[in-house]
C-alpha cells in the first residue's frame, strides 16, 4: 500500500505564476477603454449609451466569470509521503524546471495550519539547512507582470506560485480544499518525523500565533466507534 497523502490545491497557484490573475482586470480595463474609444471614433460620439453600456457589462461578466473559475480551480498538486513533501504536478520530464519542488523532511522545520472556509491554509517553513531559491525582487516581479500583460500565454507558463517560496522566513503556502485541519494532521502524523511539529493556528490571528495540536487520536477511539471530533481553538 502506498503510504502517502494527496491534497487538492485551490486556486491558480498550481499552474500560474504569482500575480498572473491580476492580469485579467488589466485586460478588462484595456478592452473597456477600447470599447469607449471605438464608440467615440466610429460613431462620432453619437453611439447610444445603452449599446456601449451593454458591451461593457458583457465584457465585465465574461471577465468576472473567468476570474471566478481561476480562483476556485482545483489541482492535486500536494503530495506527502515518508520521504518528504512534493509541490507541483508530477511529470515524466527529465527537466521539470521549477514547476515541481521536492522538500525532504530534513529541510522542513515546521508545519502550521489555519482553517479557511474552503478548507485550510498550510504553511511549510524551511529549516536553515534547506537549499532555498530566493524569489525575484520587486523590480523583477514588476517587469515580469508587465511582460505577462503583453504576452500572457508565453510568460504565463513560468514558475507557478505554489513552488515559489516566500521570504523571511522561507516558507511555502498551500491552500487545500475539501479537508479539515484535523484530517490533515491525522494524515501527516505517520508520515512526518517526530522533530517536525504540526501546529494549529487560531483563525482570528491567522499565521501570527500558533497553538500546538493535541496528540493524534486513532479513528474509533471515541465513543460509539466514531472518530473523535477535532479540538477547537479560539
Q: Which residues span the domain enclosing 94?
A: 4-18+74-216
Residues 123, 12 share a domain? yes
**Could you tell me which residues come within 8 angstroms of residue 103 by beta carbon, excluding any fewer than 6 positions away?**
84, 85, 86, 87, 124, 126, 130, 172
Residue at 80 is within a domain: yes
Predicted TM-score (pTM) of this structure: 0.70
| 31, pLDDT greater than 50 | yes
Indicate whether 78 and 66 sit together in one domain: no
pLDDT band at 34 (very low <50, low <70, confident <90, very high): confident
Question: Looking at the domain assignment, is residue 225 inside a domain?
Answer: no
pLDDT confidence bin for 224, thresholds 50/70/90: very low
Together in a domain, 29 and 140 = no
User: 110 with 9, same domain?
Assistant: yes
- pLDDT at 210 (0 to 100): 45
Structurally, the chain folds into a number of domains equal to 2
Q: What is the pLDDT of residues 69-86, one digit of tens each?
A: 888 889 999 999 999 999
User: What are the tens digits of pLDDT across the range 4-25?
Assistant: 999 999 988 888 877 777 787 8
Is 222 part of a structural domain of the chain?
Answer: no
Q: Are residues 101 and 144 in the same domain?
A: yes
b/e per residue 137-150 (b: at least 16 CB within 10 A)? eeeeeeebbeebee
Q: Kindly tell me if the per-residue pLDDT of 1 is higher than 80.
A: no
Tell me, yes or no, whether 130 and 181 share the same domain. Answer: yes
In this predicted structure, the answer to whether residue 201 has a pLDDT above a threshold of 70 is: yes
- Claim to verify: residue 67 and residue 83 sit in the same structural domain: no
Residue 152 shares a structural domain with residue 89: yes
CA distances from 178 to 9, 72, 202 (A): 9, 12, 19
- 111/181 same-domain check: yes
- pLDDT tens string 140-169: 667 766 777 776 665 556 678 888 888 888
The residue-averaged pLDDT of 168-196 equals: 92
Amino acid at each position: 500500500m502506498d503510504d502517502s497523502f494527496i491534497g487538492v490545491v485551490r486556486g491558480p497557484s498550481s499552474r500560474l505564476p504569482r500575480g498572473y490573475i491580476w492580469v485579467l482586470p488589466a485586460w478588462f480595463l484595456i478592452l473597456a477603454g477600447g470599447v469607449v474609444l471605438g464608440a467615440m471614433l466610429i460613431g462620432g460620439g453619437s453611439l447610444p449609451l445603452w449599446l456601449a453600456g451593454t458591451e461593457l457589462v458583457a465584457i465585465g461578466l465574461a471577465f468576472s466569470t473567468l476570474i471566478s473559475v481561476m480562483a476556485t480551480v482545483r489541482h492535486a498538486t500536494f503530495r506527502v509521503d515518508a520521504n518528504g513533501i512534493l509541490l507541483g504536478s508530477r511529470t515524466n520530464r527529465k527537466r521539470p524546471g521549477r514547476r515541481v519542488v521536492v522538500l525532504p523532511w530534513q529541510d522542513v522545520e515546521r508545519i502550521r495550519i489555519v482553517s479557511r472556509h474552503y478548507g485550510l491554509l498550510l504553511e511549510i517553513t524551511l529549516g536553515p539547512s534547506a537549499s532555498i531559491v530566493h524569489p525575484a525582487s520587486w523590480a523583477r516581479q514588476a517587469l515580469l507582470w508587465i511582460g505577462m500583460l503583453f504576452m500572457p500565454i508565453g510568460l504565463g507558463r513560468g514558475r507557478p506560485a505554489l513552488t515559489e517560496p516566500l521570504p523571511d522566513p522561507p516558507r511555502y503556502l498551500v491552500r487545500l480544499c475539501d479537508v479539515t485541519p484535523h484530517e490533515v494532521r491525522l494524515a501527516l502524523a505517520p508520515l512526518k518525523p517526530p522533530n517536525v511539529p504540526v501546529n494549529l493556528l487560531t483563525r482570528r490571528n491567522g499565521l501570527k500565533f500558533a497553538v500546538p495540536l493535541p496528540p493524534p487520536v486513532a479513528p474509533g477511539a471515541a465513543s460509539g466507534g466514531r472518530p473523535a471530533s477535532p479540538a477547537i481553538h479560539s
